[in-house]
Amino acid sequence: MTAVPTVLGVVDSGDLGRTYMHEHIFVLSADVQQNYPAEWGSEDDRVADAVEKLRALAASGVRTIVDPTVIGLGRYVPRVVRIAEQVPDLNIIVATGCYTYDDVPFFFHHRGPALNAALGMEVPDPMVDLFVGDIVDGIAGTGVRAGLLKCAIDHQGLTGGVERVMRAVAKAHRQTGVPITVHTHPTSHSGLDVQRVMVAEEGVDPSRIVLGHSGDSSDADHLSALAEAGFLLGMDRFGINLETTFEARADIVVELCRRGFASQMVLSHDAACYIDWIDPNVIPFLPQWHYLHIEQEVLPYLRDHGVTDEQITTMLVDNPQRYFENVGPY
């Protein structure tokens, strides 16, 4: 058993229970919100809304959510603490890392490896120490420790900034052992970039990495190859049925279970109580994108299509538990 840091304190890994491995509470453009707060409105109302939605999620039997909201996504842990205190039945695990599809934030432009040429030496990336500090000491004075690391690669591919964050995340992982989730773009096979940079070059054990958003793809052979390579596959955008469908998202889970990969998948929605990236008038066009969709619609569909209760428990309980265990530097 492993002590897993959550917002309200450590939880034994054996007590994580049913875990959704990729759910945001808020996704915010922090500096836009600071200057144009009208849409956000009342802080108290937003917190109350989140408490209500998360209580409903806990009442559905989910014991733990993993919130991979990091720099670039408006992480603000004091607000998460305020919410968590009102939903004590739900463990919330928060993350450290940096979310970008192209360049590093300007804060990092002229720091660390950006200075290598000017100084004629390898300058360590300050991101590594920031991430390790969040994991070891806690985030921004809250005392809440990050339980995982997060980075991203999307259709732009392995840009200089994406690669720099990926290597910083890998180094922070090797120093601490806390697991990693990577936002990937599976239709462009970006999992292979993760494999080369993080696994082959930085020495990360692939079983410690979730390749997020794998369920955006229906390419069973490609996903099977990544599972065989040891990665966990995040089938973690249930309800975002824009470029794909409910059936396609569910059917690829059915197929990978049929191929024997239930032990390599985790399930989630990538939902949020509020995300400012989307016009609020568009949200009604995504009626299944909420925290209860898996319980209400996905699991019945999976069972109807041959996925066993044992496989569902593997994906929702056993795989997350394994992911948060065996944490140690290497």
- Contacts with Zn ion by CB under 5 A lie at 270
Closer to Zn ion by Cβ: residue 164 or 237? 237
> Euclidean distance between the first and final Cα of the chain, in Å?
19
DSSP code per residue over 247-279: HHHHHHHHHHHHTT-GGGEEE-----SEETTS-
Q: Which is nearer to Zn ion, 25 or 83 (CB)?
A: 25
In the complex, minimum distance from the CB of residue 150 to Zn ion, in angstroms, rounded to a whole number: 9
Minimal distance in Å, beta carbon 271 to Zn ion? Answer: 9
Minimum CB distance to Zn ion, residue 270 (Å)? 4
How many CB atoms are located within 10 Å of the residue 179 CB?
26
CB of 1 to Zn ion, least distance (A): 28
CB 225 within 8 A of CB 260: no
Which 3 state secondary structure label does DSSP give 236?
Answer: coil
What's the min distance (Å) between Cβ of 39 and Zn ion?
20
Our CB check for Zn ion shows the closer of 125 and 237 to be 237
| Nearer residue to Zn ion within complex by CB, 69 or 321 | 69
Nearest to 148 by CA among 314, 294, 47, 2: 2
CB of 72 to Zn ion, least distance (A): 11
Q: In this structure, are residues 135 and 96 in contact, taking their beta carbons and an 8 Å threshold?
A: yes
Buried-state track 250-285, b at ≥16 Cβ within 10 A, e below 16: bbbbbebbeeebbebbbbbbbbbbbbbeeeeeeeee
Distance CA 202, CA 232 (A): 18
Give the shortest CB-111-to-Zn ion separation in angstroms: 26
- Nearer to Zn ion by Cβ, of 268 and 319: the residue is 268
DSSP string for 118-179: HHTS-PPPHHHHHHHHHHHT-STTS-PPP-EEEEE--TT-S-HHHHHHHHHHHHHHHHH---
Closer residue to Zn ion, CB minimum distance, 151 or 170: 151
Residue whose CB is less far from Zn ion, 23 or 134: 23
C-beta closer to Zn ion: residue 193 or 270:
270
CB of 147 to Zn ion, least distance (A): 16
Q: Three-state DSSP class for 217?
A: coil
* Residue 311 Cβ vs Zn ion, minimum distance, rounded to whole Å: 24
Beta bridge partners of residue 3, listed in sequence order: 12
Helix then strand then coil, % of the chain, to nearest 5: 45, 15, 40
Closer to Zn ion by Cβ: residue 270 or 276: 270
CA–CA separation, 150 and 11 (whole Å)? 21
